[in-house]
Structure 1
Amino acid sequence: METAAHGSWPSPVGAALAAAHDGRPEYPGTVGDELWWTAPRPAEGGRRALVRRRADGTEETALPAPWNVRSRVVEYGGRPWAAADRPEGGPLVVFCHFPDQRLYAYEPDAGPGAEPRPLTPVSPVGGGLRWVDPVVHPDRGEVWCVLEESTGPAPTDVRRVPAAVPLDGSAAGDRTAVRELTAERHRFVTGPRLSPDGTRATWIGWDHPRMPWDGTEVLLAEVAPDGTFRDARTVAGGPAESIPQADWDAAGRLLLVSDRTGWWNLYRASVGDDGTLSEPVALCPRPEEFGGPLWKIGHGWFAPLENGLVAVVHGVGTTSLGVLDPERGDLVDAAGPWTEWAPALAVHGTRVTGVAAGPYSSYELVELDTRTGRARVVGAAHTDAVDPAYYPEPRLRTFPGPGGREVHAQVYPPRHPAFTGPAGELPPYVIRVHGGPTGHAPLVLDLEIAYFTSRGIGVAEVNYGGSTGYGREYRERLREQWGVVDVEDCAAVATALAAEGTADPARLAVSGGSAGGWTAAASLTGTDVYACGTIVYPVLDPRGWATGETHDFESRYLDGLIGPFDRVPDRYEERSPVEHVDRITAPFLLLQGLDDVICPPSQAERLLARAAGRGVPHAYLAFEGEGHGFRGADALTRALEAELSLYVTVFGLDRTDVPDLGYRT
């Protein structure tokens, strides 16, 4: 082992390498004996490709560039494709194309020159027509999905309803050919799911100011012979009960995930002849999560099998894929190295496929044979980009926070196979703050973390109060306390690492994107813990968010995170980083996508204008064509190199391989 100052170590984990491996496969689905999913393509402008794994195991890209399979419903999107297996002609695929948000039908086996054909029209009003969470019903000649329709120029001028789109293309130029399945009942809805006997449909809805992790309602309707929904009514849920998923089992009973006990658990209920629902019964009552936050329409944490078993994603903090016997309450988990399973499961017979990752492997498609209990990788298989000796070794930690509350975190010390720091020198540490804030930092291999740890810079990811994965009470710690609890919890982890001799107290940084960017900025205005900070596509001015400066989905999010604006306007000013730029004394880096409609550039520009001339070094990088969450390889590379450059400058690291950020003061 060679001895060299922390932060100066050479590393094969370059920013371009990390960018090339950014993103993960999503939305798996079975089409006959084939497995399909969407996959990231950072080198192709960040588009999402549709990938097909044939029965013989070969993988191919089903749609070439520029086709981009991604929805913009509620801006975060959701499940953007579905398919039906046909005895003749091969699969019929329906997908949402990101640039125009139209639904397209595609028959990949139709012969040479087969091209997608549009199913839905273009609207000139506001954000137009958008579609998500499709289910193809060939026998009905239509695809059921969620329609999001702009009714005016403002982001909040929008309506959403379950809808049926004809598969024959008759609605491609005729909005009236789209059949709305039910009257507009809720501001937000998920796609309807048809009962096995075809007589009923169920979906989920909720309204402002609630977010889906606050409270949702399960709706049930009869499906008339003409395909219309009748007598839609609420059968479960409410303002204080979050139900993020509902579906049918093979016997026609309703399965749903509810947090009525404080934990998202799985329940089952029978539907009477009159449409009433029996009292839901918990199938595996445990103090752990069998669900999560419904950020994207079409997320699913369980999938029923034809034999009555149910595949479930569950856990506390980390997650596992298990197979539940509802009659006995037995739950058996798949064995393997995976510590995080995405809320997306595909079932084919007795096989279940999910998207999973672990501390030493990136996200890949994993198939579980429920008959044998054997799990194997079947798609997007992880390959080591570098020698795994350069990967960080995480340590799951629980730290004491203010008032004795627990704060969960993952700590990644510096790690290099050939270098160590000098005796007596403590390494710098970056406190990484996840977005959401109703989300969590998963315990998975992340080359962005390895980029720092392999150079001798430690990283700690904080699942602060308000994070998911630890029950509703932990989630509710952030209610009206955003900018307080998150800032305190991150500071508690940082100061604890310094106090125990793990991190250099003079070389601590805070970094985060979106809601994490808010916490990073609020940490610089509200504490003196950090020597610098990286603020990425952040929320900076909550008053702007509360008065029409963001998209509809989160336009009332701050009612719960800070309080209703009309009731506590002073609190918005008190918490706002923009209003307290004078308190920032540490250098900072601000990264912003210019096409971001969730956290718009105007907020970043206000912060910069107020920071000008105050003598605090800061840098700003704006990225053309990037929105909320960078996707293109160039933006990802430049952002990561810029972050390292900040730390080199502020921490006094011995490196020359970083860009000059041209600091302003």
Structure 2
Amino acid sequence: MPVQAPYGTWPSPIDAGLVAAHDGRPDFLGSVGGELWWTEPRPEEGGRRALLRLPADGRQSPVSVLPAPWNVRNRVIEYGGLPWAGAARNSGGPLIVFTHFADQRLYAVEPDAPDAAPRPLTPLSDITEDGLRWCDPVVLVDRGEVWCVLEEFTGEGPTELRRVLAAVPLDGSAAADRGRVRELTGDDDRFLSGPRLSPDGERLAWLAWNHPAMPWDGTRVMTARIGGDGSLEPPRAVAGGPEESVAQAEFASDGTLLIASDASGWWNLQRVDPRAAGTDGSRPRGVPLCPREEEFAGAAWKIGQRWFAPLPGGLVATLHGRGAQRLGVLDPETGALVDAAGPWTEWAPSLAVVDSRVAGIAASPRTSYEIVELDTRTGHTVVVAAHHEDLVDPAYCPEPQSRTFTGPGGRDIHAHLHPPHHPDHSAPAEELPPYVVWVHGGPTSRSPLVLDLEIAYFTSRGIGVVEVNYGGSTGYGRAYRNRLRQQWGVVDVEDCAAVARTLAREGTADPARLAIRGGSAGGWTSAASLTSPLAEGLYACGTVTYPILDLTGWATGETHDFESQYLESLVGPLAEVPDRYRERSPLQHADRTAAPFLLLQGLDDVICPPVQCERFLEQVKGRGVPHAYLAFEGEGHGFRRAETIVRAVEAELSLYCQTFGLAREDITPVELRP
């Protein structure tokens, strides 16, 4: 017989330490020869990213290649990009090139050599300590170079920089001489990603775009012939445009390009022959391979994400779906698409190919992200690394459901509902549960429906969670994404409020115990919801993590280059609608703040800097609103250290306990001061 106790007071074996220890997932999966390599988080080691290697024989466990403090990560566009690449060699084992987070240099290592110490390939910065950054490498052993994206600061401001494709010698001669780095492209484009060499080695392709566009707004596929001396001939655009986002481009074995373009309103796969581009600038015709109202790609928040991968023989492994992405194998000749078998419902944009096998990183509502391999000849799938383990009895995890709510004007709002759930406890029949609206970052992103111990931390204690993929989220076509154009702070706030009100109206949630929380752009929506008339009186409290609070400040030098003009589309041109920037900013409406709130911030955050929190707190001071501000040394945009995650999770629960009147003694309380 279940023990009856109020919602929010149930005991749970999922503590904050468990949440922290398993924060993050494998990423940047790739193949070198017959081996799989990837990066993996180490929260207990200061949040570094380790580089893992799975031997090809399949009988050994993954090996961490580099000991601490090596941290395989970079800061290109601040969110980072593909931090490693490798090449098989005839003797001596593979050659691996990677970026180290502490100094942002590019290093080479021969892991099978007797002395496998990394050696630097690029110099330390000569302008500022963060002056040179590298990512998205392609190791070309025959050329003796690694080709990659170079981000170079030309001044001290966050937008004083340039990006080019560059060739770095593998012999280490550029480690002390910047002049030894060959620049392959000029300064025509602000952003570059995805350098790909054609199978015959005669052509290079890459993606490019410029401010104020973001990569999900409009990109171009550039190609150029490679001269005998390794330089590039003048490049041409063969696909894409101001209102067409190409998220990825890959060469097929026949020299044509496969691209994921949203020209149809959905990111679909096309084939483009760059050799058919006219000398007059005319472009080759793109041929759709599997036209569907589904997404075969997503928003490129990191450089080097991979949603599809050509296989030998002409097949293509590809992610696809609406609101979630699963792995399928596409026959481009017939358009037939066959999905991989297995329980996984969400695949990360990180695919690797080894002969006829394709590996990916996949999860489900019951399993964490695992590395799964599909044999395309047999259709057999198997977990090969990062195996999911039930760290607690799965009965403590929520039983989620995907729902579509109705918003203003009858528009659809997609969300994932995670009701309170406990195997041994229930609440009194007359009691309704508290619910927290979780707002994802981006805002051009989405919340995947996968096992999340942080969600289970709350639901197993009797607090419901609803993740809202509000208008502007990815996964539902370009029209759904474009709902947020010039409407940030309106559509996102309205959609979250509509979901919360519906849950209260239908008797799923307690209308007096609703909360909202989010980080980054989700922090913006949370703060805006606490200060906007669109959600007035709806939320009893909110958790706001590394947020944007002042649009005008963020648009005039208080953020990094990648998003420095993002508000042009989200809010409108600052020069034309300055009042809109003020009207929507939580900073300008601190006097409307009535609900208790928790503010969490990394002091090293250059994307959403602490100064915005400090200004907001100054405006709130003396208004009698209970709140707490926790600022963390050594943390940037997104918490990575175990001790930070523990404190943040427990502080959030403490906020809900104090606001909702929940009696708990198993957390470190946070003091709310007016």
Same fold by TM-score greater than 0.5: yes
* Residue 507 in structure 1 maps to residue 510 in structure 2: no
Q: Distance in 2 between matches of 1:125 and 1:629?
A: 27
Superposition TM-score, scaled by structure 2 size: 0.98
1:581-660 matched pairs, under 5 angstroms: 581-660=590-669
CA deviation after TM superposition for structure 1 residue 273, in Å: 6.5
Find the residue that maps to 2:239 and give its secondary structure.
strand
Alignment equivalent of 2:307, drawn from 301, 306, 312 = 301
Q: Which residue of 2 aligns with 1:563?
A: 572
Task: Report the CA distance shift for 1:652/1:164 in structure 2 as closer, same or farther (over 3 A).
Answer: same
CA deviation after TM superposition for structure 1 residue 191, in Å: 3.4
Q: Distance in 2 between matches of 1:613 and 1:263?
A: 49
Q: Which residue of 2 aligns with 1:459?
A: 465
Q: Which residue of 1 aligns with 2:351?
A: 345
1:186-205 matched pairs, under 5 angstroms: 186-205=189-208
Kept in 2, the 8 Å contact 1:144–1:191? The answer is: no
Find the residue that maps to 1:192 and give its secondary structure.
strand
Superposition TM-score, scaled by structure 1 size: 0.99
Q: Distance in 1 between matches of 2:225 and 2:51?
A: 34
Q: Distance in 1 between matches of 2:670 and 2:613?
A: 17
Kept in 1, the 8 Å contact 2:489–2:528? The answer is: yes
Find the residue that maps to 2:30 and give its secondary structure.
strand
Alignment equivalent of 1:365, drawn from 358, 361, 371 = 371
* Residue 183 in structure 1 maps to residue 186 in structure 2: yes
1:183-262 matched pairs, under 5 angstroms: 183-262=186-265
Amino acid in structure 1 at the alignment position of 2:29: P
Q: Distance in 2 between matches of 1:191 and 1:344?
A: 13
Cα deviations by residue, 1:317-374 (Å, 9 ceiling, x for unpaired): 0110000000000000011111211111100110001111110111111111101111
Q: Distance in 1 between matches of 2:277 and 2:334?
A: 29
Q: Distance in 2 between matches of 1:658 and 1:543?
A: 38
Alignment equivalent of 1:572, drawn from 562, 581, 585 = 581
CA deviation after TM superposition for structure 1 residue 634, in Å: 0.4
CA deviation after TM superposition for structure 1 residue 271, in Å: 3.0
Q: Distance in 1 between matches of 2:16 and 2:631?
A: 18
CA RMSD of aligned residues (A): 0.9
Amino acid in structure 2 at the alignment position of 1:101: Q
CA deviation after TM superposition for structure 1 residue 659, in Å: 2.1
Kept in 2, the 8 Å contact 1:612–1:664? The answer is: no
Find the residue that maps to 1:183 and give its secondary structure.
coil
* Residue 355 in structure 1 maps to residue 361 in structure 2: yes
Amino acid in structure 1 at the alignment position of 2:19: A
Kept in 2, the 8 Å contact 1:645–1:661? The answer is: yes
Kept in 1, the 8 Å contact 2:238–2:277? The answer is: no
Q: Which residue of 2 aligns with 1:21?
A: 22
Find the residue that maps to 1:230 and give its secondary structure.
coil
Alignment equivalent of 1:118, drawn from 112, 117, 120 = 120
Q: Distance in 2 between matches of 1:315 and 1:142?
A: 38
Cα deviations by residue, 1:609-633 (Å, 9 ceiling, x for unpaired): 1111100100010000000000000
Kept in 2, the 8 Å contact 1:270–1:277? The answer is: no
Kept in 2, the 8 Å contact 1:453–1:459? The answer is: yes
Q: Which residue of 2 aligns with 1:134?
A: 137
Kept in 1, the 8 Å contact 2:650–2:669? The answer is: no
CA deviation after TM superposition for structure 1 residue 91, in Å: 1.1
Q: Distance in 2 between matches of 1:249 and 1:626?
A: 41
* Residue 378 in structure 1 maps to residue 378 in structure 2: no
Kept in 2, the 8 Å contact 1:57–1:378? The answer is: no
1:492-503 matched pairs, under 5 angstroms: 492-503=498-509
Return 5+ residue gaps in structure 2 as ranges.
none
Return 5+ residue gaps in structure 1 as ranges.
none
Kept in 2, the 8 Å contact 1:365–1:381? The answer is: yes
Q: Distance in 1 between matches of 2:673 and 2:617?
A: 10
* Residue 279 in structure 1 maps to residue 285 in structure 2: yes
* Residue 159 in structure 1 maps to residue 162 in structure 2: yes
Q: Distance in 2 between matches of 1:358 and 1:500?
A: 28
Q: Distance in 2 between matches of 1:40 and 1:195?
A: 33
Find the residue that maps to 2:25 and give its secondary structure.
coil
Amino acid in structure 2 at the alignment position of 1:437: P
Find the residue that maps to 2:624 and give its secondary structure.
coil
Find the residue that maps to 1:353 and give its secondary structure.
strand
Q: Which residue of 1 aligns with 2:13?
A: 12
CA deviation after TM superposition for structure 1 residue 547, in Å: 0.4
Find the residue that maps to 1:8 and give its secondary structure.
coil
Cα deviations by residue, 1:24-45 (Å, 9 ceiling, x for unpaired): 0001111122111000000000
Find the residue that maps to 2:438 and give its secondary structure.
strand
Find the residue that maps to 1:220 and give its secondary structure.
strand
Find the residue that maps to 1:266 and give its secondary structure.
strand
Q: Which residue of 2 aligns with 1:150?
A: 153
